[in-house]
Amino acid sequence: MIDNLCYEFFREFARYEYCLKATGFRFNTRDAKANWDMYAMAVTHVFESPEDPELKAAIEYFLNFPPKKQVVNDGVLAWDQTPIEEKIIAKKILILIRRVRNNLFHGGKFNGEWFEPERSEALMRNALIILRACGESHHEVSKAYGGIAC
């Protein structure tokens, strides 16, 4: 069920965000904020030539069907389809995964009923595949995910 998948996505996203901050992938400020771009540079190998067919398909899904960004145009909610200009695929995909989180968390995809439930499900499933592949590929993040103190 999509509600359960949404819960799983939020839980996993939050857990990875904690792991990034705990392992030094954070901005050098007082605010504890994960630096996803720095992390992307550490896991570029995951995106360059994925051998796992499921991971490859998930990456291709995000590149071919990226989530839109909710915006306000003339006082009306709308969806912006402007492509992300980022050249580094790892950074681009992780930006798009954060967009999935933002759209879900800030109500862009759910208002009592799911908007485009099939697409939302595909985005969350593919995002989870990518997040897990990145986490498993980075030793320190993997340790933090497993509960081993950093």
pLDDT at position 150: 55
Q: Is residue 123 domain-resident?
A: yes
| Cα distance between residue 136 and residue 140, in whole Å | 9
Torsion of CA 8, 37, 20, 140, to 10 degrees: 110
Q: Quickly list H helices, the chain.
A: 2-22, 36-42, 44-48, 53-64, 89-105, 117-137, 139-145
- For residue 132, the enclosing domain spans 2-145
Residue type, 7: Y
Is 150 contained in some domain? no
Give domain status of residue 32, yes or no: yes
- Considering the entire predicted model, what is its pTM? 0.90
| Helix or strand holding residue 77 (H, E) | strand 76-80
What pLDDT is recorded for position 1?
85
Residues 102/36, Cβ–Cβ less than 8 Å = no
Does residue 96 lie in a domain region?
yes
List per-block mean pLDDT (blocks of 10 residues) for the chain, which spans 150 residues: 92 96 95 97 96 97 94 89 92 97 75 76 97 96 82
Residue showing tokens 């771009």:
37
How confident is the model at residue 90, as a pLDDT?
A: 98
64 alpha-carbon distance from chain centroid: 15
Specify if 74 maps to a domain: yes
Residue 104 within a domain: yes
d(CA 55, CA 65): 15
Phi, psi values for residue 116, rounded to 5°:
50, 60
Q: Is residue 19 included in any domain, yes or no?
A: yes
| Structural domain total, the chain | 1
Q: Would 119 be classed as within a structural domain?
A: yes
